[in-house]
Amino acid sequence: MKSFSAHILGQATIIAIATLFTSCEKELEFKYHAHSPILVIEGNLTQNGSRVALTETVPVDHQITNLPVTDANVLITDITDNETYMLALDDEGYYSNPMSGIPGHVYTLEVNRNNKKYASTSIMYEGVVIHSLSFEWIKMPYDYVAALQVAFSDSDIAATDYWIRVYRNSEPYNWGIVSSRNSENGMINYAIMTTRQNPDENDGDAILDNDIITVSVAPISHSMFNYLQ
């Protein structure tokens, strides 16, 4: 991973007028199937270390809490070098280790909890080269929107897809995924919509003059691309 510091209108009118004369209201009660919580594992390995978040699913009609799971054993094995690293629970509820990932090596993430074992194996890809970041105003029906344009290349572009993440003042802001099939001559150009030119007062997506925008591009497997999609 490398970072860088981007008609029915008539029908609707008829329906609206009709409601002036008659209305019908019915309460719908949804019954959801009861399921036991499922462990959710999200791991990230970079040149700066590894970090794994463990959470559990919640029923559809419950509030999402994202409370961390802290009673598991987590380890990463570098299959290429035959070395295993234990991940320790940090103050934020993540399992982490400062060991650096090595491009080209194959790694297995293993989680053990409640006498159950979960494991996944993947290769660490080479980092991409980000060539440019720029903002461009795009005219939309409701306002102008600043599109963040990201241009990058990869030495092995046919083997991977990409996860693009945008941070505002070091906090997650937006993200997108792009397939390697979108490349032209080894280069990928991708646009992410950001702030409006005339945002509302309480618009949480507004980017201010002093905000610092950072972009990271991570090569990911096709299966990870499908998961995010």
**Residues 75-114: tens digit of each pLDDT:** 999 999 999 999 999 999 999 999 999 999 999 999 999 9
Are 81 and 120 in contact, with CB atoms under 8 Å apart? no
Two tokens, residue 65: 């809490």
Two tokens, residue 222: 């096709």
Strands 95-97, 213-220: pairing is unpaired
Regions of the chain with pLDDT less than 70: 1-24, 157-159
Distance CA 114, CA 205 (A): 41
CA 94-75-178 angle, 5° bins: 65
Are 52 and 42 in contact, with CB atoms under 8 Å apart? yes
Tell me the DSSP string of 122-155. Answer: EEPPPPPEEEEEEEEEEE-SSSEEEEEEEEEE-T
pLDDT for residue 9:
34
Global pTM reads: 0.70
pLDDT for residue 202:
80
163: β partners = 177, 218
pLDDT for residue 12:
39
Total length of the chain? 229
177 backbone dihedrals φ, ψ, rounded to 5°: -125, 150
Residues in contact with 5: Cβ distance below 8 Å, sequence separation at least 6, in sequence order: 212, 214
Are 77 and 83 in contact, with CB atoms under 8 Å apart? yes
Distance CA 88, CA 188 (A): 37
pLDDT for residue 23:
57
